[in-house]
């Protein structure tokens, strides 16, 4: 059993929670997350860390916080979806929360305060960036399955039986696996929305980077074709949304071609 800070107040009988962190070669980001989870005052907490075979010293950081971790795995995987699914299988508590490397709770009593809201199969809080800009409220307007599927996974508690019923994260998606999972679920199981922030998300994550923006938009389009074929608004926006990542991709290709051309000249 991992070591936890002493509980304060009388909120010691809420539902059990497992926090799952997946990571690969993100030592600095991971330590922020480990420190944040280790500081949580909620006693009914299990912590699972899945490392995809890091080579940058990440395993050393995991060992450093070992007494705060209930289950850890360090081995190659097939991507984020695979790591998420490993974490789910390794967990044992009622509610599961996927907190990626670099994401942190807003304060040490965040889980304790959130526990009283865990009365529904899916409970989504807000996530904020470093500037305090949140994902929530207007994020779900107009309210529909398509907008509700955009739940921030790092601030959304999913009850174990939801995964048993709907399955885990699809290996077909390398970036938008959370969007695809919630799109699969929310049409028949609407989430409970709690309009207050729970976590601060890392803006250097894969889904936030320009490098992966093209894949982010492409997979989002695939999710909507699969789960919301009758939704309006997306098709005429997809070109605009792909413009910036498309320009980045062209720039990368041009740079690679230029470097290859220079190499041939100097040979």
Residues 229 and 120 in one domain: no
Query: What would the DSSP string read from start to end of 65-78?
Result: TGGG-SEEEES--S
The secondary structure of residue 205, as a DSSP letter, is S
Which phi and psi angles does 187 have, rounded to 5°?
-65, -30
Q: What is the CATH number of the domain that holds 29?
A: 3.90.550.10
Domain count, the chain: 2
CA distance 50 to 30: 11
List the domain range (segments joined by +) for residue 238: 209-253
Domain finish residue from 184, 203, 222: 203
Residues 29 and 56 in one domain: yes
Residues 166 and 227 in one domain: no
Residues 93 and 61 in one domain: yes
In sequence order, the β-bridge partners of residue 193 are 124
| 139 part of a folded domain | yes
CA distance 232 to 135: 22
* pLDDT of the residue at 12: 59
Helix (H), strand (E) at residue 257 = helix 235-266
| 90 part of a folded domain | yes
* pLDDT of the residue at 263: 46
Domain finish residue from 203, 223, 239: 203
* pLDDT of the residue at 236: 45
Distance, first Cα to last Cα, the chain: 61
Prediction pTM value: 0.82
* pLDDT of the residue at 213: 79
Residues 153 and 239 in one domain: no
Residue segments in the chain with a per-residue pLDDT below the cut of 50: 7-10, 235-236, 240, 262-267
Residues 108 and 214 in one domain: no
Residues 37 and 149 in one domain: yes
Q: 53's torsion region: left (phi>0), alpha (psi -120 to 50) or beta?
A: left
Residues 130 and 214 in one domain: no
| 8 part of a folded domain | no
Residues 123 and 169 in one domain: yes
Residues 107 and 228 in one domain: no
* pLDDT of the residue at 131: 77
| 9 part of a folded domain | no
| 7 part of a folded domain | no
Give which of 157, 106, 95, 113 is closest to 10, Cα–Cα.
113
- Kindly report, residue by residue over 66-115, the tens digit of the pLDDT: 999 999 999 999 999 999 999 999 999 999 999 999 999 999 999 999 99
* pLDDT of the residue at 60: 95
């Amino acid at each position: 059993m991992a070591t936890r800070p002493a509980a304060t107040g009388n909120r010691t009988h809420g539902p059990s929670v497992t926090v799952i962190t997946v990571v690969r070669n993100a030592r600095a980001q991971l330590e922020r997350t480990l420190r944040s989870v280790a500081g949580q005052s909620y006693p009914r907490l299990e912590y699972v860390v899945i490392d995809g075979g890091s080579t940058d010293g990440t395993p050393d950081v995991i060992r450093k916080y070992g007494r705060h971790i209930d289950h850890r795995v360090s081995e190659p995987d097939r991507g984020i979806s695979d790591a998420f699914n490993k974490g789910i299988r390794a967990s044992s508590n009622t509610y599961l929360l996927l907190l990626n490397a670099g994401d942190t709770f807003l304060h040490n009593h965040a889980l304790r305060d959130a526990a009283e809201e865990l009365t529904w199969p899916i409970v989504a809080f807000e996530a904020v960036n470093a500037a305090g800009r949140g994902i929530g409220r207007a994020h779900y307007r107009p309210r529909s399955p398509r907008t509700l599927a955009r739940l921030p996974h790092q601030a959304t508690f999913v009850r174990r039986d939801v995964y048993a019923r709907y399955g885990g994260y699809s290996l077909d998606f390398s970036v938008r696996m959370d969007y695809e999972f919630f799109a699969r679920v929310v049409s028949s199981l609407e989430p409970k929305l709690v309009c207050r922030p729970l976590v601060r998300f890392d803006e250097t994550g894969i889904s936030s980077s320009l490098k992966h923006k093209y894949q982010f938009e492409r997979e989002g389009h695939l999710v909507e074709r699969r789960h919301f074929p009758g939704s309006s608004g997306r098709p005429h926006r997809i070109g605009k949304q792909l413009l910036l990542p498309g320009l980045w991709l062209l720039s990368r290709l041009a740079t690679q071609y230029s470097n290859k051309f220079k190499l041939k000249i100097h040979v």
